[in-house]
Amino acid sequence: MSSEEVRQPGVQASRPKGDVEESDAVEPVAKSAESGIEMQVGLADIQSTLDQLEEQIAAYRRMLAEQEATVEEPTETGAQETQLVGIDDEELGSVAASIASDYAAFFTGLGAVADAALEETEDVEDAGDEVGQALVADDADEDDAFVAVAERVSVVEEMDVAAALEEEEVGLAAPSVEMPELFAELDRQMEMGLHRNALVAVFEDGQEHLDYLSSVDGSGVTPEPQPMFRAFSCGKAMTAAVIWRLLDAGILGIDAPVVEYWPEFAQRGKSKVTIRHVLTHTAGLPHDFGRGDVDWGDWGRMMDILASMDLEYEPGEVIHYHSITFGLLVAEIASRATGVEFEELFEREVKGPLGLKDTCFSIGADDADARNRVQKLYTAEDYFDLEMPSKMDWLMDNQIVTPGGSCITTARDLGRLYATVCNGGVGGDGEVWLSEDAAASVYETLASAYNITEMTKNRVGQGVWMYDEQPNRMATLSATSVFGHGGIGTSIAWGDPEYGVSAAILTDTMLQEGLNGARLNRISAAIRWDLGLPVGSVGEI
């Protein structure tokens, strides 16, 4: 689909409930008139009928008791004789009133029995038709009428019980907003096995519009407390957000050399690297340590190694994604500038002020509740690293902080971060988190160069990306201010400041990047279609 195409979401036409074609209509009064049956029944006759029915109810109670007493034990093969549908005393006590209502409606020409039958499934419709036939047939007696109505009641009640059990098992409420394209796309991808669980949050004008869980166990409004997902590199925006705040406060300068805050970093010609270079992945240090003796739990040791690394490129020369080193550099720079360790600084500058309840970069060993909420991670059979789930579990179990990849969060928290930036720096509670200029600077193009990783030319802001290639994971047109960040094999979060919309999509199943990009592109496109936003090219799966 080209960017100029306007998609018309498919709508399946259906006949309104209770709207019956002429050929389907049940007309008990007309039929009875044609058959010449006299329908003059007064209240006294109805009362007489009720008296007889009450006697029959008592007889049925006795029959049920006898039946229950004589039910055969299970056979050797485990089979059991068919039992009568159980009806308790309370249900039996209301049958007479129900039948009286049906009788009165029928005799006054309201056709209530037929209408009720038409509003149920075809099975119940057939049962209702049998009731009408039993009541108007010349040879019908009151026993036939009672049995027909009792059967209809049993069918309806069984349906209601099944529906109630299903709802109880799922336990998720239906969303209060209609996003049919999104829900259909998530269902389609789940049926294809592209995820077992996917969490999607959508914000408009700084306020939550939708928080939705697509799950093999039942989809709907995300339960509380929410499941938490591995965000991988989606968490880089959370890490960079600390720098956004420090830049806004004047504690850091965008073009200040890193060595101004971290003197040891000047080793091996790195004195020219600036904060801008770090945020735009042009610092020239794209690769991780490549050292087998690194203790990932020893932050000081890792920083010593990072400070002693050689440059691979001249700073600012090329965009080369710093998958691991980005988070380490950002966290250490922020800590050096403030004298506060990164996790505490994140809590103070980002998590607390924005009210992010479920975001962290490590989970304490004694926090069993949080650990139980972390969604299990899966990989597709053809994924390049089938050990990734166990590696991420190892990071969590050992409380290893890697700010470029260990973030655990919810779509609500991630979406709220982007929503605040799109809302001019004002949070959902009306508090100013960033100045308006600082918020706009987040998605300002700070670098536009050849991306040696993706073999394309990209625009990069303050730790976020603006995609121009088609199709892209944010399903946006080229040359827009839409900004975001993805997570390897799983996720994407983005903000569209022009329309005040943000979205976060987290999944539990890691796919090869081609397929992962296609599924995220289609989910993002569905969100944009539902909200009436411009949509870029949409790929096929």
User: 233 in helix, strand or coil?
Assistant: helix
User: Does 4 map to a domain?
Assistant: no
User: 359 in helix, strand or coil?
Assistant: coil
Of 143, 170, 197, the residue at which a domain comes to its end is 170
Same domain? 416 vs 483: yes
At 40 the pLDDT is 45
User: Does 540 map to a domain?
Assistant: no
At 79 the pLDDT is 37
Domain total in the chain: 2
Same domain? 251 vs 123: no
CA 382 to the chain's CA centroid: 25
Amino acid at position 104, single letter: A
Same domain? 39 vs 125: yes
**Residue 197 is inside which H or E element, if any?**
strand 197-204
Q: How many residues does the chain have?
A: 541
Name the maximum alpha-carbon separation found in the chain.
Answer: 107
Same domain? 282 vs 431: yes
State the Cα–Cα distance between residues 402 and 385, nearest whole angstrom. Answer: 19
User: Does 198 map to a domain?
Assistant: yes
State the Cα–Cα distance between residues 390 and 32, nearest whole angstrom. Answer: 73
User: 417 in helix, strand or coil?
Assistant: helix
State the Cα–Cα distance between residues 326 and 273, nearest whole angstrom. Answer: 13
State the Cα–Cα distance between residues 411 and 301, nearest whole angstrom. Answer: 33
User: Does 377 map to a domain?
Assistant: yes
Q: What CATH number is associated with residue 399?
A: 3.40.710.10
State the Cα–Cα distance between residues 86 and 65, nearest whole angstrom. Answer: 10
Q: 10-residue block means of pLDDT along the chain (541 residues)? A: 39 34 38 41 62 71 63 41 38 42 41 41 42 40 43 45 46 92 98 98 98 97 95 98 98 98 97 98 85 78 93 93 95 98 98 97 93 97 96 93 95 98 96 98 92 79 95 96 98 98 98 97 98 98 93
State the Cα–Cα distance between residues 476 and 496, nearest whole angstrom. Answer: 9
Same domain? 194 vs 145: no
What is the secondary structure of 186-240 as a DSSP string? HHHHHHTTS-SEEEEEEEETTEEEEEEEEETT--EEPPSSPPBEE-GGGGHHHHH
Of 170, 196, 230, the residue at which a domain comes to its end is 170
3-state helix, strand, coil in the chain (%, to 5): 45, 10, 45
Same domain? 331 vs 418: yes
State the Cα–Cα distance between residues 377 and 508, nearest whole angstrom. Answer: 5
Structural domain for 142, as ranges: 22-68+83-170
Give yes or no for a contact between 321 and 279, defined as CB atoms under 8 angstroms apart.
no
Burial tier of 5 (Cβ tally within 10 Å: 0-12, 13-18, 19+):
exposed
At 103 the pLDDT is 39
Nearest to 200 by CA among 481, 499, 190: 190
User: Does 8 map to a domain?
Assistant: no
Same domain? 190 vs 157: no
Residue entry with tokens 């409380």: 399
At 64 the pLDDT is 67
State the Cα–Cα distance between residues 418 and 134, nearest whole angstrom. Answer: 65
CA 355 to the chain's CA centroid: 20
At 42 the pLDDT is 55
User: Does 13 map to a domain?
Assistant: no
At 330 the pLDDT is 98
Give yes or no for a contact between 203 and 419, defined as CB atoms under 8 angstroms apart.
yes
Same domain? 166 vs 276: no
Of 170, 202, 236, the residue at which a domain comes to its end is 170
User: Does 341 map to a domain?
Assistant: yes
Same domain? 243 vs 307: yes
Same domain? 160 vs 255: no
At 46 the pLDDT is 65
Same domain? 248 vs 324: yes
Same domain? 129 vs 194: no
User: Does 186 map to a domain?
Assistant: yes
At 69 the pLDDT is 55
The CA-atom distances, in angstroms, between 470 and each of 152, 393, 429, 452, 505 are 57, 35, 36, 18, 19
